[in-house]
Structure 1
Amino acid sequence: MTLAFLDGRPASADDLRALALVNYGHFSSMQVRGRAVQGLELHLHRLRSATRELFDTKIDDARIRGAILAALDGAGVDDASVRVTVFAREFDYAQPDRILPVDLLVSVNPPRQADPSPVWVKTYAFQRPLPHIKHVGTFPLFQHRRQARREGADDALFVDARGRISEGSVWNIGFWDGRQVVWPQADALRGTAERLLQAGLSEAGVGQRHAPVEARALAGLRAAFAANATGIWPIGGIDDITLRPDPALMEALDAALRSQPWRPLAG
Protein backbone atom coordinates (compact mmCIF):
# COMPACT_ATOMS: atom_id res chain seq x y z
CA MET A 1 0.00 0.00 0.00
CA THR A 2 1.33 3.42 -0.95
CA LEU A 3 1.35 6.11 1.73
CA ALA A 4 1.87 9.72 0.69
CA PHE A 5 3.02 12.67 2.77
CA LEU A 6 3.25 16.34 1.83
CA ASP A 7 6.11 18.01 3.66
CA GLY A 8 5.67 15.65 6.57
CA ARG A 9 1.88 15.50 6.90
CA PRO A 10 -0.45 12.95 5.28
CA ALA A 11 -1.27 14.15 1.77
CA SER A 12 -4.89 15.02 1.13
CA ALA A 13 -6.94 14.24 -1.97
CA ASP A 14 -6.61 17.90 -2.98
CA ASP A 15 -2.82 17.69 -2.70
CA LEU A 16 -2.68 14.66 -4.98
CA ARG A 17 -5.23 16.15 -7.37
CA ALA A 18 -3.03 19.22 -7.85
CA LEU A 19 -0.11 17.08 -8.99
CA ALA A 20 -2.22 14.76 -11.13
CA LEU A 21 -4.00 17.55 -13.00
CA VAL A 22 -0.98 19.79 -13.58
CA ASN A 23 1.57 17.00 -14.15
CA TYR A 24 4.51 19.40 -13.91
CA GLY A 25 7.37 18.49 -11.62
CA HIS A 26 10.24 16.10 -11.08
CA PHE A 27 11.20 13.31 -8.71
CA SER A 28 13.81 10.87 -7.49
CA SER A 29 13.18 7.28 -6.41
CA MET A 30 15.37 5.55 -3.86
CA GLN A 31 15.64 2.51 -1.65
CA VAL A 32 15.85 3.16 2.09
CA ARG A 33 17.36 0.61 4.46
CA GLY A 34 17.71 1.35 8.15
CA ARG A 35 16.84 4.99 7.33
CA ALA A 36 19.91 5.25 5.12
CA VAL A 37 20.15 5.71 1.34
CA GLN A 38 22.85 4.54 -1.02
CA GLY A 39 23.91 7.46 -3.19
CA LEU A 40 21.97 9.93 -1.05
CA GLU A 41 24.09 12.85 -2.25
CA LEU A 42 23.23 11.96 -5.87
CA HIS A 43 19.51 12.02 -5.14
CA LEU A 44 19.80 15.33 -3.29
CA HIS A 45 21.79 16.89 -6.13
CA ARG A 46 19.23 15.66 -8.68
CA LEU A 47 16.36 17.21 -6.72
CA ARG A 48 18.18 20.50 -6.13
CA SER A 49 19.30 21.01 -9.72
CA ALA A 50 15.95 20.06 -11.29
CA THR A 51 14.12 22.39 -8.90
CA ARG A 52 16.29 25.28 -10.03
CA GLU A 53 15.70 24.46 -13.70
CA LEU A 54 11.95 23.81 -13.56
CA PHE A 55 10.88 26.28 -10.88
CA ASP A 56 13.65 28.92 -10.69
CA THR A 57 13.87 28.39 -6.97
CA LYS A 58 15.96 26.55 -4.41
CA ILE A 59 15.29 23.60 -2.15
CA ASP A 60 17.73 22.69 0.59
CA ASP A 61 18.95 19.26 1.62
CA ALA A 62 17.67 19.59 5.18
CA ARG A 63 14.11 20.03 3.95
CA ILE A 64 14.35 16.98 1.68
CA ARG A 65 15.88 14.82 4.40
CA GLY A 66 13.30 16.01 6.90
CA ALA A 67 10.39 15.28 4.57
CA ILE A 68 11.63 11.73 3.97
CA LEU A 69 12.18 11.07 7.67
CA ALA A 70 8.74 12.45 8.53
CA ALA A 71 7.19 10.16 5.90
CA LEU A 72 9.03 7.15 7.33
CA ASP A 73 7.80 8.14 10.80
CA GLY A 74 4.25 8.46 9.48
CA ALA A 75 4.46 5.04 7.83
CA GLY A 76 6.15 3.53 10.87
CA VAL A 77 8.97 1.94 8.87
CA ASP A 78 12.75 2.10 8.54
CA ASP A 79 13.03 0.21 5.22
CA ALA A 80 11.06 1.33 2.17
CA SER A 81 10.92 2.29 -1.46
CA VAL A 82 10.64 6.08 -1.40
CA ARG A 83 9.80 8.55 -4.14
CA VAL A 84 10.32 12.28 -3.55
CA THR A 85 8.33 14.44 -5.97
CA VAL A 86 8.84 18.19 -6.23
CA PHE A 87 5.91 20.17 -7.63
CA ALA A 88 3.94 23.37 -6.93
CA ARG A 89 0.29 23.20 -5.94
CA GLU A 90 -0.14 26.79 -7.13
CA PHE A 91 1.33 26.16 -10.59
CA ASP A 92 -0.78 27.70 -13.37
CA TYR A 93 -0.16 26.67 -16.97
CA ALA A 94 -1.37 30.12 -18.05
CA GLN A 95 1.55 31.66 -16.16
CA PRO A 96 4.18 28.91 -16.16
CA ASP A 97 7.03 31.38 -15.62
CA ARG A 98 5.67 32.62 -12.29
CA ILE A 99 8.08 31.80 -9.44
CA LEU A 100 6.25 29.76 -6.81
CA PRO A 101 7.09 27.92 -3.59
CA VAL A 102 7.54 24.21 -4.22
CA ASP A 103 5.94 21.31 -2.38
CA LEU A 104 7.51 17.96 -1.48
CA LEU A 105 5.41 14.86 -1.87
CA VAL A 106 7.02 11.75 -0.38
CA SER A 107 5.44 8.39 -1.18
CA VAL A 108 6.37 5.30 0.81
CA ASN A 109 6.07 1.72 -0.46
CA PRO A 110 7.50 -1.63 0.68
CA PRO A 111 11.20 -2.18 -0.14
CA ARG A 112 12.00 -3.46 -3.61
CA GLN A 113 14.86 -5.50 -5.00
CA ALA A 114 15.50 -6.10 -8.69
CA ASP A 115 14.66 -9.55 -10.05
CA PRO A 116 18.01 -11.09 -11.12
CA SER A 117 16.44 -13.03 -14.00
CA PRO A 118 17.60 -12.10 -17.53
CA VAL A 119 15.22 -9.97 -19.56
CA TRP A 120 14.67 -9.59 -23.29
CA VAL A 121 14.16 -6.03 -24.50
CA LYS A 122 12.78 -4.49 -27.67
CA THR A 123 14.09 -1.23 -29.13
CA TYR A 124 11.96 1.80 -29.97
CA ALA A 125 12.98 5.09 -31.51
CA PHE A 126 12.21 7.55 -28.74
CA GLN A 127 13.90 10.48 -27.01
CA ARG A 128 12.55 11.79 -23.73
CA PRO A 129 12.17 15.57 -23.55
CA LEU A 130 14.70 17.09 -21.17
CA PRO A 131 16.31 13.66 -20.72
CA HIS A 132 18.68 14.93 -18.02
CA ILE A 133 15.71 15.60 -15.70
CA LYS A 134 13.73 12.84 -13.99
CA HIS A 135 10.46 14.63 -14.64
CA VAL A 136 6.91 13.41 -14.08
CA GLY A 137 6.17 13.05 -17.82
CA THR A 138 6.33 9.25 -17.65
CA PHE A 139 3.44 8.40 -20.01
CA PRO A 140 5.63 7.47 -23.03
CA LEU A 141 7.96 5.39 -20.85
CA PHE A 142 5.13 3.25 -19.56
CA GLN A 143 3.36 3.12 -22.92
CA HIS A 144 6.50 1.82 -24.67
CA ARG A 145 7.05 -0.74 -21.92
CA ARG A 146 3.45 -1.88 -22.29
CA GLN A 147 3.87 -2.14 -26.05
CA ALA A 148 7.08 -4.16 -25.65
CA ARG A 149 5.35 -6.63 -23.35
CA ARG A 150 2.40 -6.97 -25.71
CA GLU A 151 4.89 -7.79 -28.47
CA GLY A 152 6.55 -10.57 -26.49
CA ALA A 153 9.48 -8.73 -24.87
CA ASP A 154 10.01 -7.89 -21.20
CA ASP A 155 10.74 -4.18 -21.51
CA ALA A 156 11.52 -1.29 -23.85
CA LEU A 157 14.96 0.02 -24.79
CA PHE A 158 15.20 3.43 -26.45
CA VAL A 159 17.38 4.48 -29.36
CA ASP A 160 17.87 8.02 -30.65
CA ALA A 161 17.39 9.34 -34.20
CA ARG A 162 20.83 8.00 -35.14
CA GLY A 163 20.06 4.50 -33.88
CA ARG A 164 22.23 4.84 -30.79
CA ILE A 165 21.11 3.13 -27.59
CA SER A 166 20.29 5.64 -24.85
CA GLU A 167 18.36 4.10 -21.93
CA GLY A 168 15.62 1.72 -20.92
CA SER A 169 12.10 2.61 -19.84
CA VAL A 170 13.06 3.20 -16.19
CA TRP A 171 16.66 2.00 -16.14
CA ASN A 172 20.11 2.54 -17.57
CA ILE A 173 22.02 0.00 -19.63
CA GLY A 174 25.66 -1.03 -19.77
CA PHE A 175 27.62 -3.54 -21.86
CA TRP A 176 30.65 -5.81 -21.42
CA ASP A 177 33.21 -6.32 -24.19
CA GLY A 178 35.23 -8.93 -22.31
CA ARG A 179 37.68 -6.42 -20.85
CA GLN A 180 35.72 -3.27 -20.02
CA VAL A 181 32.27 -2.05 -19.16
CA VAL A 182 30.93 0.05 -22.03
CA TRP A 183 28.49 2.83 -21.20
CA PRO A 184 26.51 3.93 -24.28
CA GLN A 185 26.90 7.56 -25.30
CA ALA A 186 23.55 9.23 -26.04
CA ASP A 187 21.25 11.72 -24.34
CA ALA A 188 19.66 9.96 -21.36
CA LEU A 189 18.89 10.33 -17.71
CA ARG A 190 22.07 9.43 -15.89
CA GLY A 191 20.75 7.30 -13.04
CA THR A 192 22.04 7.12 -9.50
CA ALA A 193 22.70 3.37 -9.80
CA GLU A 194 24.74 3.96 -12.95
CA ARG A 195 26.89 6.53 -11.15
CA LEU A 196 27.32 4.30 -8.12
CA LEU A 197 28.40 1.43 -10.35
CA GLN A 198 30.90 3.66 -12.16
CA ALA A 199 32.40 4.73 -8.85
CA GLY A 200 32.57 1.19 -7.49
CA LEU A 201 34.05 -0.26 -10.68
CA SER A 202 36.66 2.50 -10.77
CA GLU A 203 37.66 1.78 -7.17
CA ALA A 204 37.93 -1.93 -8.00
CA GLY A 205 40.14 -1.25 -11.01
CA VAL A 206 37.61 -2.52 -13.57
CA GLY A 207 38.02 -0.82 -16.94
CA GLN A 208 35.24 1.38 -18.27
CA ARG A 209 34.68 3.47 -21.37
CA HIS A 210 31.94 5.59 -22.92
CA ALA A 211 31.16 5.01 -26.59
CA PRO A 212 28.21 5.17 -28.98
CA VAL A 213 26.47 1.80 -29.20
CA GLU A 214 24.15 1.07 -32.10
CA ALA A 215 21.33 -1.36 -31.44
CA ARG A 216 21.95 -3.16 -34.75
CA ALA A 217 25.71 -3.35 -34.38
CA LEU A 218 26.61 -5.06 -31.11
CA ALA A 219 29.61 -6.91 -32.49
CA GLY A 220 32.28 -7.28 -29.83
CA LEU A 221 29.85 -6.74 -26.95
CA ARG A 222 29.42 -9.99 -25.08
CA ALA A 223 26.88 -9.15 -22.40
CA ALA A 224 24.58 -6.39 -21.18
CA PHE A 225 22.95 -5.41 -17.93
CA ALA A 226 20.34 -2.98 -16.62
CA ALA A 227 20.48 -0.88 -13.46
CA ASN A 228 18.25 1.39 -11.44
CA ALA A 229 17.60 2.17 -7.79
CA THR A 230 16.27 -1.36 -7.18
CA GLY A 231 19.53 -3.00 -8.28
CA ILE A 232 21.02 -4.69 -11.35
CA TRP A 233 19.89 -7.50 -13.66
CA PRO A 234 21.20 -9.13 -16.86
CA ILE A 235 19.82 -8.51 -20.34
CA GLY A 236 19.42 -11.74 -22.30
CA GLY A 237 18.67 -10.20 -25.66
CA ILE A 238 17.94 -7.06 -27.65
CA ASP A 239 15.45 -7.41 -30.51
CA ASP A 240 16.69 -10.50 -32.41
CA ILE A 241 20.20 -10.45 -30.91
CA THR A 242 20.92 -12.94 -28.13
CA LEU A 243 23.27 -11.88 -25.34
CA ARG A 244 24.59 -14.53 -22.97
CA PRO A 245 24.49 -13.38 -19.31
CA ASP A 246 27.97 -13.31 -17.76
CA PRO A 247 27.95 -14.51 -14.11
CA ALA A 248 31.44 -13.07 -13.47
CA LEU A 249 30.33 -9.68 -14.76
CA MET A 250 27.23 -9.70 -12.59
CA GLU A 251 29.32 -10.62 -9.55
CA ALA A 252 31.69 -7.73 -10.28
CA LEU A 253 28.79 -5.32 -10.71
CA ASP A 254 27.17 -6.54 -7.50
CA ALA A 255 30.44 -6.09 -5.61
CA ALA A 256 30.89 -2.60 -7.07
CA LEU A 257 27.40 -1.58 -6.00
CA ARG A 258 27.76 -3.07 -2.52
CA SER A 259 31.02 -1.17 -2.01
CA GLN A 260 29.23 2.17 -2.13
CA PRO A 261 28.19 3.48 1.30
CA TRP A 262 24.69 3.99 2.63
CA ARG A 263 24.28 7.49 4.05
CA PRO A 264 21.94 8.13 7.00
CA LEU A 265 19.04 10.47 6.29
CA ALA A 266 19.41 11.99 9.72
CA GLY A 267 22.80 13.47 8.87
Structure 2
Amino acid sequence: MAPSKKKHVRSESCVIPGGFTELSLQFSSDSVSQHKLYVKEHRVRADKSSRPLDRTLFVLNIPPYCSKAVVTELFSQFGTVHYVELCDQPGSSQQTEPTVSPMFKPAEKQGFNVGYIVFKNATSIKAAKSHPHDVPLVVSTEQHPVKTGVQKWIQQYRNSFISTDKIQQVVDSFMEDYDKRKEMEAEQQRKEAEQQQEDEEGWVKVSRGNKGAKARPYSEAANQRTLQKEIKKKKRKELLNFYTWQHRKTQREHIAELRKKFEDDKQRITLLRAQRKFKPY
Protein backbone atom coordinates (compact mmCIF):
# COMPACT_ATOMS: atom_id res chain seq x y z
CA MET A 1 0.00 0.00 0.00
CA ALA A 2 1.44 3.33 -1.10
CA PRO A 3 2.13 5.82 1.63
CA SER A 4 -0.33 8.69 2.00
CA LYS A 5 0.80 11.94 0.45
CA LYS A 6 -1.49 13.98 2.71
CA LYS A 7 0.45 16.33 4.96
CA HIS A 8 -0.50 16.99 8.59
CA VAL A 9 -2.29 20.31 8.94
CA ARG A 10 -0.95 22.51 11.73
CA SER A 11 -3.47 23.51 14.39
CA GLU A 12 -4.33 27.18 14.14
CA SER A 13 -6.68 29.59 15.89
CA CYS A 14 -10.25 29.93 14.68
CA VAL A 15 -11.41 33.48 13.92
CA ILE A 16 -15.14 34.05 13.51
CA PRO A 17 -16.99 37.10 12.11
CA GLY A 18 -16.79 40.10 14.39
CA GLY A 19 -13.08 39.72 15.09
CA PHE A 20 -13.57 37.14 17.85
CA THR A 21 -11.25 34.16 18.30
CA GLU A 22 -12.78 30.88 19.38
CA LEU A 23 -11.25 29.03 22.34
CA SER A 24 -12.33 25.59 23.51
CA LEU A 25 -13.03 25.02 27.20
CA GLN A 26 -13.16 21.63 28.85
CA PHE A 27 -14.20 21.13 32.45
CA SER A 28 -11.84 18.21 33.15
CA SER A 29 -9.42 16.06 31.19
CA ASP A 30 -11.88 13.16 30.98
CA SER A 31 -14.87 15.31 29.92
CA VAL A 32 -16.38 14.58 26.52
CA SER A 33 -18.24 17.84 25.87
CA GLN A 34 -16.54 21.14 25.30
CA HIS A 35 -17.56 24.73 25.81
CA LYS A 36 -16.67 27.66 23.53
CA LEU A 37 -15.23 30.96 24.61
CA TYR A 38 -14.97 33.96 22.31
CA VAL A 39 -12.13 36.40 22.94
CA LYS A 40 -11.26 39.72 21.39
CA GLU A 41 -8.90 42.56 22.12
CA HIS A 42 -10.67 45.31 24.04
CA ARG A 43 -10.45 48.51 22.01
CA VAL A 44 -13.42 50.64 23.00
CA ARG A 45 -12.24 54.24 22.91
CA ALA A 46 -15.34 55.51 24.69
CA ASP A 47 -14.56 53.37 27.74
CA LYS A 48 -13.32 55.77 30.43
CA SER A 49 -12.53 53.03 32.92
CA SER A 50 -9.13 51.90 34.14
CA ARG A 51 -8.86 49.10 31.57
CA PRO A 52 -5.80 49.64 29.36
CA LEU A 53 -6.69 49.25 25.69
CA ASP A 54 -3.50 47.44 24.73
CA ARG A 55 -3.52 44.87 27.58
CA THR A 56 -7.21 43.99 28.02
CA LEU A 57 -8.84 40.85 26.59
CA PHE A 58 -12.62 40.83 26.17
CA VAL A 59 -14.17 37.38 26.75
CA LEU A 60 -17.73 36.22 25.99
CA ASN A 61 -19.74 33.14 27.07
CA ILE A 62 -17.96 32.46 30.36
CA PRO A 63 -19.84 29.61 32.15
CA PRO A 64 -21.18 30.03 35.70
CA TYR A 65 -18.69 27.57 37.23
CA CYS A 66 -15.78 29.80 36.20
CA SER A 67 -15.09 32.28 38.98
CA LYS A 68 -12.48 35.05 38.89
CA ALA A 69 -9.89 32.72 40.37
CA VAL A 70 -10.65 30.04 37.75
CA VAL A 71 -10.49 32.54 34.87
CA THR A 72 -7.22 33.92 36.22
CA GLU A 73 -5.75 30.42 36.38
CA LEU A 74 -6.94 29.54 32.84
CA PHE A 75 -5.43 32.59 31.16
CA SER A 76 -2.27 32.68 33.25
CA GLN A 77 -0.69 30.32 30.76
CA PHE A 78 -0.62 33.18 28.23
CA GLY A 79 1.05 35.63 30.62
CA THR A 80 0.77 37.26 34.02
CA VAL A 81 -2.81 38.37 34.72
CA HIS A 82 -3.11 41.73 36.47
CA TYR A 83 -6.79 41.43 37.39
CA VAL A 84 -10.08 39.99 36.09
CA GLU A 85 -13.54 41.56 35.91
CA LEU A 86 -16.71 39.50 35.48
CA CYS A 87 -20.10 41.10 34.83
CA ASP A 88 -23.52 40.24 33.44
CA GLN A 89 -23.16 42.39 30.33
CA PRO A 90 -20.53 44.59 28.71
CA GLY A 91 -20.21 48.01 30.21
CA SER A 92 -18.10 50.37 32.27
CA SER A 93 -15.73 49.25 34.96
CA GLN A 94 -17.21 47.96 38.23
CA GLN A 95 -14.42 49.54 40.25
CA THR A 96 -16.38 52.81 40.41
CA GLU A 97 -19.06 51.20 42.60
CA PRO A 98 -18.82 51.82 46.35
CA THR A 99 -17.20 49.06 48.33
CA VAL A 100 -19.63 47.05 50.44
CA SER A 101 -18.83 44.86 53.39
CA PRO A 102 -18.93 41.16 52.44
CA MET A 103 -21.41 40.60 55.29
CA PHE A 104 -23.98 42.84 53.57
CA LYS A 105 -23.11 42.05 49.96
CA PRO A 106 -26.01 40.51 48.00
CA ALA A 107 -25.63 37.11 46.40
CA GLU A 108 -24.07 37.11 42.95
CA LYS A 109 -26.21 36.22 39.96
CA GLN A 110 -25.64 32.76 38.57
CA GLY A 111 -25.39 32.74 34.80
CA PHE A 112 -23.10 33.20 31.83
CA ASN A 113 -20.84 36.22 32.14
CA VAL A 114 -18.63 38.45 30.09
CA GLY A 115 -15.12 39.13 31.28
CA TYR A 116 -12.31 41.65 31.00
CA ILE A 117 -8.88 40.13 31.55
CA VAL A 118 -6.10 42.66 32.04
CA PHE A 119 -2.59 41.31 31.47
CA LYS A 120 0.64 42.91 32.59
CA ASN A 121 2.17 42.59 29.11
CA ALA A 122 0.59 43.32 25.75
CA THR A 123 2.14 40.18 24.19
CA SER A 124 -0.24 38.02 26.26
CA ILE A 125 -3.15 39.21 24.11
CA LYS A 126 -1.54 37.87 20.97
CA ALA A 127 -0.66 34.58 22.70
CA ALA A 128 -4.27 34.06 23.80
CA LYS A 129 -5.67 34.85 20.35
CA SER A 130 -3.21 32.51 18.62
CA HIS A 131 -4.05 29.53 20.87
CA PRO A 132 -5.22 26.51 18.76
CA HIS A 133 -8.98 26.06 18.91
CA ASP A 134 -8.71 22.27 19.05
CA VAL A 135 -6.56 22.37 22.22
CA PRO A 136 -9.05 22.94 25.03
CA LEU A 137 -8.38 24.85 28.22
CA VAL A 138 -8.96 22.56 31.20
CA VAL A 139 -10.88 24.10 34.11
CA SER A 140 -10.55 21.52 36.87
CA THR A 141 -7.15 19.89 37.37
CA GLU A 142 -5.52 17.94 40.14
CA GLN A 143 -3.55 20.99 41.26
CA HIS A 144 -6.60 23.31 41.07
CA PRO A 145 -9.84 21.33 41.46
CA VAL A 146 -13.15 23.11 40.85
CA LYS A 147 -16.26 21.91 42.66
CA THR A 148 -19.67 21.78 41.00
CA GLY A 149 -23.14 20.53 41.84
CA VAL A 150 -23.87 19.48 45.41
CA GLN A 151 -20.25 19.87 46.51
CA LYS A 152 -20.24 23.46 45.30
CA TRP A 153 -23.50 24.23 47.12
CA ILE A 154 -22.17 22.75 50.33
CA GLN A 155 -19.01 24.84 50.05
CA GLN A 156 -21.02 28.02 49.37
CA TYR A 157 -23.28 27.26 52.35
CA ARG A 158 -20.31 26.81 54.66
CA ASN A 159 -18.64 29.96 53.38
CA SER A 160 -21.82 31.95 54.03
CA PHE A 161 -21.23 31.71 57.78
CA ILE A 162 -19.04 34.47 59.18
CA SER A 163 -17.17 34.01 62.42
CA THR A 164 -18.11 36.18 65.38
CA ASP A 165 -14.50 37.35 65.73
CA LYS A 166 -14.53 38.78 62.22
CA ILE A 167 -17.87 40.49 62.82
CA GLN A 168 -16.55 41.96 66.06
CA GLN A 169 -13.50 43.34 64.26
CA VAL A 170 -15.68 45.04 61.66
CA VAL A 171 -17.96 46.50 64.34
CA ASP A 172 -15.02 47.75 66.42
CA SER A 173 -13.44 49.38 63.38
CA PHE A 174 -16.72 51.10 62.47
CA MET A 175 -17.26 52.38 66.02
CA GLU A 176 -13.70 53.75 66.20
CA ASP A 177 -14.25 55.71 63.00
CA TYR A 178 -17.61 56.92 64.32
CA ASP A 179 -16.10 58.12 67.60
CA LYS A 180 -13.35 59.96 65.73
CA ARG A 181 -15.89 61.74 63.53
CA LYS A 182 -17.95 62.74 66.57
CA GLU A 183 -14.88 64.10 68.36
CA MET A 184 -13.91 66.14 65.32
CA GLU A 185 -17.45 67.56 65.04
CA ALA A 186 -17.52 68.45 68.75
CA GLU A 187 -14.13 70.15 68.48
CA GLN A 188 -15.30 72.10 65.44
CA GLN A 189 -18.45 73.23 67.24
CA ARG A 190 -16.43 74.28 70.28
CA LYS A 191 -14.12 76.40 68.13
CA GLU A 192 -17.08 78.04 66.41
CA ALA A 193 -18.72 78.77 69.77
CA GLU A 194 -15.53 80.44 71.03
CA GLN A 195 -15.26 82.56 67.91
CA GLN A 196 -18.92 83.60 68.12
CA GLN A 197 -19.00 84.26 71.86
CA GLU A 198 -20.59 87.59 72.83
CA ASP A 199 -18.84 90.13 75.04
CA GLU A 200 -20.44 92.02 77.96
CA GLU A 201 -22.08 94.62 75.71
CA GLY A 202 -23.64 92.02 73.44
CA TRP A 203 -21.23 92.36 70.53
CA VAL A 204 -20.23 89.31 68.60
CA LYS A 205 -16.69 88.91 67.35
CA VAL A 206 -16.72 88.01 63.66
CA SER A 207 -13.51 86.31 62.56
CA ARG A 208 -12.49 85.52 59.05
CA GLY A 209 -12.58 81.78 58.47
CA ASN A 210 -10.83 79.61 55.94
CA LYS A 211 -10.82 80.49 52.28
CA GLY A 212 -14.22 79.80 50.82
CA ALA A 213 -15.90 79.33 54.23
CA LYS A 214 -18.72 81.64 55.30
CA ALA A 215 -18.37 83.34 58.68
CA ARG A 216 -21.22 83.03 61.19
CA PRO A 217 -21.57 86.31 63.13
CA TYR A 218 -24.57 85.16 65.21
CA SER A 219 -24.41 83.12 68.37
CA GLU A 220 -27.20 81.04 69.88
CA ALA A 221 -28.44 83.91 72.04
CA ALA A 222 -28.51 86.27 69.06
CA ASN A 223 -30.43 83.70 67.07
CA GLN A 224 -33.02 83.42 69.86
CA ARG A 225 -33.49 87.18 69.99
CA THR A 226 -33.93 87.36 66.26
CA LEU A 227 -36.47 84.56 66.42
CA GLN A 228 -38.47 86.35 69.13
CA LYS A 229 -38.52 89.53 67.05
CA GLU A 230 -39.82 87.62 64.05
CA ILE A 231 -42.57 86.05 66.19
CA LYS A 232 -43.68 89.45 67.51
CA LYS A 233 -43.61 90.91 64.03
CA LYS A 234 -45.71 88.07 62.75
CA LYS A 235 -48.26 88.53 65.54
CA ARG A 236 -48.61 92.23 64.70
CA LYS A 237 -49.33 91.36 61.11
CA GLU A 238 -52.03 88.87 62.01
CA LEU A 239 -55.54 89.92 61.02
CA LEU A 240 -57.38 90.35 64.33
CA ASN A 241 -60.64 91.91 63.05
CA PHE A 242 -61.59 89.41 60.43
CA TYR A 243 -65.36 89.62 60.95
CA THR A 244 -67.45 92.84 60.79
CA TRP A 245 -68.74 92.53 64.33
CA GLN A 246 -65.15 92.22 65.59
CA HIS A 247 -64.22 95.43 63.76
CA ARG A 248 -67.23 97.32 65.21
CA LYS A 249 -66.50 96.06 68.71
CA THR A 250 -62.90 97.25 68.43
CA GLN A 251 -64.07 100.68 67.27
CA ARG A 252 -66.51 101.00 70.17
CA GLU A 253 -63.83 100.03 72.67
CA HIS A 254 -61.44 102.55 71.15
CA ILE A 255 -64.07 105.36 71.33
CA ALA A 256 -64.90 104.47 74.91
CA GLU A 257 -61.21 104.58 75.81
CA LEU A 258 -60.84 108.01 74.19
CA ARG A 259 -63.88 109.34 76.03
CA LYS A 260 -62.55 108.06 79.35
CA LYS A 261 -59.20 109.70 78.66
CA PHE A 262 -60.98 112.96 77.75
CA GLU A 263 -62.92 112.97 81.01
CA ASP A 264 -59.75 112.26 82.99
CA ASP A 265 -58.02 115.19 81.28
CA LYS A 266 -60.98 117.53 82.06
CA GLN A 267 -60.88 116.57 85.71
CA ARG A 268 -57.13 117.15 85.88
CA ILE A 269 -57.46 120.58 84.24
CA THR A 270 -60.26 121.55 86.65
CA LEU A 271 -58.10 120.52 89.57
CA LEU A 272 -55.14 122.53 88.27
CA ARG A 273 -57.36 125.63 87.84
CA ALA A 274 -58.58 125.29 91.39
CA GLN A 275 -55.01 125.20 92.58
CA ARG A 276 -54.11 128.20 90.31
CA LYS A 277 -51.35 126.26 88.73
CA PHE A 278 -52.78 126.07 85.23
CA LYS A 279 -50.64 127.95 82.72
CA PRO A 280 -51.88 127.36 79.20
CA TYR A 281 -49.45 129.95 77.69
| TM-score category of the 2 structures, normalised to the smaller one | under 0.3
Structure number having the greater strand percentage: 1
Q: How does the TM-score come out when normalised to structure 1?
A: 0.21
Per residue, is there more helix in 1 or in 2?
2
When normalised by structure 2's length, the TM-score is 0.20
Higher relative contact order (CA 8 A, sep 6+): 1
Larger Rg: 2
